[in-house]
Structure 1
Amino acid sequence: MEARLLLEDGTLFTGRSFGSDGESIGEVVFNTGMTGYQEVISDPSYCGQIVTMTYPLIGNYGMSRDDFEAVRPYIHGFVVREHEEVPSNWRAEYSLGNLLQEYGIVGISGVDTRMLTRILRRHGTMKAIITTSTDSYEDLMERLRGGDIATNQVATVSTKQVFNVPGDGPRVALIDYGSKSGILRDLKKRGCDVVVVPHDTTADQIRRLKPDGIMLSNGPGDPKDVAPAIDTVRELVQEFPLFGICLGHQLFALACGANTEKLKFGHRGGNHPVKELESGRCYITSQNHGYTVTEESIPDCLEITHINNNDKTIEGLRHKTLPAFSVQYHPEASPGPYDSGYLFDRFVDMMIRVKEERSVTPKQTIIAKEAAERAAAAGAEGKGELSYAQK
């Protein structure tokens, strides 16, 4: 069956349908990964988007539930150059086409994805309609112009109820804005007691969980569309160690007074170079975002820790006085390299250190404060610096 992809600039692609029959409108984006299409399709951050894979052959190793990053996919369409109908992989449970059909997702193959990617790079991401209908070009364009892209993606993909994944380590409140399973896996690998909460959970409700730290997950869409979350993060960062990933990074920045803007065509793939400014080391990272924190808006309370080596956009932030940091990329990978897994270790160490500092008795705190004041008076600058808890 024929399928068509129509961009809002009028460009029409015709190809073969695979997956489900039907039609949907979404933002068309491209991912440069050579592998990992299972994790891409099941990443909740792609909610509402029509995903184009730049690698020419997709579906050759089939689909396995063990490799999913969410319970179900939320993409609005899938675009490939060539689709393999008969996968070759002993782990495969079914084909890519079977998965798309199961969840009512339209796929189109036979598209010149190089041409499509060049259009998106030149003009930026744009709205598109993907369909198996035989309606005229004019009718499709009318529906595309009249259709809106939803702004409630986070509410769509977030968990609807609180649940706990027990562990013997620090307790982490993971706020689910569309969290990938990889974040939970990495926290569990380090023994954390994880409580996953919905995106609209209030600061008071989180306080009652008595967490040792807060994890802000990845998620889809514009961070400014989840304004209540910004207020919640603004409260929590004053009280708990905090680590933000992707959308969580943007929400952390907004809560501290920074601003965000939309990128021309975003960063999506598993091979993006990021420089850690402190060490000068370059990490290869997995990324999936369409927005960035603007450098000129960074407030005095934040410092930049990582930058993108390709376009110099901000990839990491750290609070100067509070135990809080964030990264724009995905240290949990899946798909992508595991270069940045050390950030989870850093978060766990930070929670343990802050908890130990806050367990100091009032008498010890007074003694430490008096010692600090004496050192400062004696001109011993830096030796009397107070800990986070003592401040």
Structure 2
Amino acid sequence: MAITTENRAAAQRGRWAVAAMFCTNGFIVGSWAPQIPLLLTRLDIREATLGLLILGFGLGALVAMPSCGLLIPRYGSRKVLTAFAVACTVGLLIVIAMPSVWLAAPAMVLFGALVGGMDVAMNTNAVAVERKLGKAIMSASHGFWSLGGFAGGGLGGLTIQRFGTLPHAIMVTLITLIVVFAAIRFLVSEEQPAPEAKTRTGFPRQPAIYIVGLIALFAMIPEGAILDWAAIYLRQERSADIATAGFAFAAFSATMATMRFLGDIVRNRFGAVLTLRVSSLIAALGIIVAGLSPTPWLAIAAFAFAGFGLANIIPIAFSAAGNQPGISSAAGMSVVSTLGYSGILVAPSFIGFIGQSTGFAPIYLALSVLLVIVFFAARFAASADGAQSGH
């Protein structure tokens, strides 16, 4: 279908509106990070209890993601994203306002559900934008999430130190509410779904969507392993000082955010499958070198190199999920989101348990195998290029 000037302008506005949603979601998650250690003293709990609260956040997200996949075919991603985004702005405030661990626990599950539901809805809406524009925008959208997370984490610590935990949570709510209400009127809507698509429920039967989900899972497990354990690996096994160890995730995040803003250009030029194959090999090589590195700085450089590769695997997997033939964008997105995010929410705890016995170097070498599997499974993500056909 030909894209008129008016339709293209609306799609461009929709692109920036959904980018604002990604940035908002990242800002909320980033703002949560500096609040985590303060829960220990405020609620008078130990680390094990805090771990259970964080697990509750993950479980809330994993329950909401497939549920969101049932709502979007019925109501459209614009309405569902609007509802989740508005609700998500108060999620952090609800958690921080809870005076006891018994009230904080259900609040954490709710917070995780709101963040997870918004995630599925905004990724599904980004696919709708890709279809209207006839080109990829998913990688840049995830780049805006990284920017939001960076801003939330960086400003959060300073704000908490100056004003306290509750004023910080109120500030986050006010800022995100303003951004969300400014953006929602520009969000695009999908084409009206077929009547049978509205009533179809349950899990998709196409095996390909689950392979795309495994691609997302096998990318997010290494990402979670770097996020949670790289600093400890450098500190304990490569004798890095605390300041040096902190550079591992910072360098990884910097290359990942940079490559996400370049990723759509690369994918539009070379196609999703080739981009995915090269990305997986770059990521695998980086993690292998990090695991074999005799020095902290070589390992940090290797983690940064891995960031170039890991950056665009998830955006490509999400575009493939949203364009999978035979199922709705929302159903595909909910499957891939649930499988993928379980890798970053659940797997790191198992990695830590194993790492206590084996050390982390062998774990990083083993995780590179997952990325080699992604290389061989890349052809199942070919539907990501469906966004470029200008439906």
Greater per-residue helix proportion = 2
Kindly name which structure, 1 or 2, has the bigger radius of gyration based on alpha carbons: 1
Structure (1/2) with the larger strand percentage = 1
TM-score (norm 2): 0.27
With normalisation by structure 1, the TM-score equals 0.27
